[in-house]
Amino acid sequence: MARKILITGASSGIGKALAFEMATRGYDVGLAARRTDELEKIKNDIKKESPERGVAVRKLDVTDYGDVPAAVTDVADDLGGLDIVFVNAGIGLGEAVGKGQFEKSLRTIQTNLAGAMATIDASAAYFLEKGSGHIVGVASVAAFRGMPRSASYSASKAGLAIYLEALRAETHGKNIDITVLYPGYIDTPLNNMLKNRPFLITVEKGAAIIAKLIEKKATSSTVPVFPWNIIGRLLKILPTGVIAKM
């Protein structure tokens, strides 16, 4: 029987690419995002490439926190169960602190942290009842150090990573795996407006790496592993003056 994965933020970027990657690996996929028109296109394209795969579509805004548990249940019902939830929905608005842009900061926290927490909470409830499961959260290398003009984004991703670490301890011995991923620059609409994207990789390559890490049930990893596993350590110890120039 095919394993089944729910992907949030599946209408573009990493989520979209991972949907195709997991389908080619024999997984049935649940696609959740706000733009159902895009999800339907992705579903049709997956069915063309992998007609034997089950594909479920569910409209979901992760900031509609009360709807998140229903979305997890609906996709599980449509696919005949879930084995993995890929918590990926997120935004990056690039606001500066103290410049009258707090509304952007709030939206970032509501989506990237509170929305992710709502998704994780609902997924944990489902897997605890089922007796097994795997939750994968997408943090960022920005979680390693607060970056200028990305304060709320960095905070949201650091918070997500810590939340997942706490959940790993809470579910220890309960047959639920927790994976925290820290992507570097992957070519997606989230960052394609930036002038400088060091060590950039394609979204297809990023999805392939992520799929391998999911199947290995990695505890945590940068994406790609090298050079970001080294850069991540350096970010924590670089002088503030160096960080300020980034």
Instruction: Return the active site residues.
Output: 153
Report the C-alpha gap between 214 and 233 in whole angstroms: 23
C-alpha 143/C-alpha 71 separation (Å) is 27
Place of tokens 């996709």: 75
Cα diameter, the chain: 54
The alpha carbon of residue 147 and the mean position of all alpha carbons in its chain are separated, in whole angstroms, by 20
DSSP labels, 175-209:
TEEEEEEEE--B-STTTTT-S--TT-B-HHHHHHH
Work out the angle between the directed axes of helices 203-216 and 13-24 (0-180°, nearest 10): 60
**If phi over 0 gives left and psi between -120 and 50 gives alpha, with beta otherwise, what is residue 133?**
left
The tally of CA atoms less than 13 A away on the side-chain side of residue 196 is 2
C-alpha–C-alpha distance, residues 71 and 114, integer Å: 16
